[in-house]
Amino acid sequence: MLARTRFAVVLRRTGQFQRTASRALSGSPCLYNLPTDKNAQQPTSSEGETPKRKPLSRIAIGGTTNHSQRNSGGSIEFATWKMAALLLTLGGTLYYFFAKEKRRLEIEKEAEANRGYGKPLVGGPFKLVDFNGNEFTEENLKGKFSIIYFGFSHCPDICPDELDKLSVWLDKLKQKGIELQPIFITCDPARDPPHVLKEYLSEFHSDLIGLTGDYNAVKHACKQYRVYFSTPPSLKPGQDYLVDHSIFFYLMDPEGQFIDALGRQYDEKTGVEKIQEHVKAFVPKEQREKRKHKWYSFLFN
């Protein structure tokens, strides 16, 4: 009798456990609570249509959508080419600037070396008269760039060719906003008085200024500019002759100092370029002196 009672109690407890477990599983929201009936009714919207499932997001939980995720590979490649083009343009601009500045410094150093230290190696005091009879000295060279040529009016070919070339330089430089004071100094004062020079130079360029004087004054001016000239000895009155002389254009800065000599190797194009470089690179003496005490003075030595 006692055994039957115990068995009944065990059965009742076992039934209670099964009912409790069944209720717990039926009310749990876990993934294992899947419907077993294939014909079970699906949830519908208010209009009676079955809602579509949303596609799974590729964005990590807690992440945000960025521009690179939205753009295609082609857009990224295009942006890369744009950056490369920008870098090439910037690099080319910097190279051009530094190359141009380097060239300017070279020209400035060249002019400074030609000026010399103390007394200039080329140029100096002189006293002549122009083709209008007015006195002309080294002081008339100050305040503007000047270019000086030594020749004579009876020269058959070289002087006319060089003066034609000078005329082209003057016109082209004017177009660039650069004006020079062109000066012609005769090496043959005996046959080149003022009126002869005026008529001779009028055939080339209206800006040309002719200078002459007595033999000693002309010889002194030629010596100041290191110009070689000579006339044949034992000349008879009225005898025709040629004068041998140096063939250079002497470029002078606005302070009346020599900065460069342009020989026959400069043509109508290269001569303009050379003069233009010197004009743009010119620095007044006062500024040059101040720069010597600056930390970057080594750049100009």
* CATH number, domain containing residue 135: 3.40.30.10
- What is the mean predicted confidence (pLDDT) over 49-78? 53
Residue 112 lies in a domain: no
State the first-to-last Cα distance of the chain, in angstroms, to the nearest integer.
128
* Binding-site entries for Cu cation: 155, 159, 245
Q: Number of folded domains in the chain? A: 1
> Residue 62, SS3?
coil
Read off the tokens for 86: 């920008």
- The torsion region of residue 8 among left (phi > 0), alpha (psi -120 to 50) and beta comes to alpha
Task: State the burial class of residue 231 (Cβ atoms within 10 Å of its Cβ: 0-12, 13-18, 19+).
Answer: middle
Record the tokens describing residue 291, joined without a space.
Answer: 């720069």
Closest Cα to residue 275, out of 120, 160, 146, 89? 146
Binding positions are: 155, 159, 245
CB 188 within 8 A of CB 231: yes
- How far from the centroid of its chain's Cα atoms is residue 25's Cα? 84
Boundaries of domain holding 200: 127-233+240-300
Question: What is the Cβ-side half-sphere exposure of residue 118, based on CA atoms within 13 angstroms?
Answer: 0
Whether 81 maps to a domain, the answer reads no
Q: Report pTM.
A: 0.62
CB 174 within 8 A of CB 165: no
Assigned domain for 209 exists: yes
In a domain, 36, yes or no: no
Beta-carbon contacts of residue 159 (< 8 Å; ≥ 6 apart): 151, 152, 153
Residue 224 forms part of a structural domain: yes
40: confidence class by pLDDT, cuts 50, 70, 90? very low
Q: Give the whole-angstrom CA distance, residue 107 versus residue 114.
A: 11
Report which of residues 245 and 51 the model is more confident about: 245
Number of Cβ atoms within 10 Å of the Cβ of 194: 18
Element (H, E) at 54: none
- Give 224's contacts (C-beta < 8 A, 6+ positions apart): 122, 123, 124, 125, 126
pLDDT value, residue 232: 78
Per the domain annotation, does 49 fall within a domain? no
Coil, helix or strand at residue 159: helix
Residue 76 forms part of a structural domain: no
What is residue 76's predicted lDDT score, i.e. its pLDDT? 63
Residue 261: inside a domain: yes
Residue 79: what pLDDT? Answer: 73
Q: How confident is the model at residue 173 (pLDDT cuts 50, 70, 90)?
A: very high
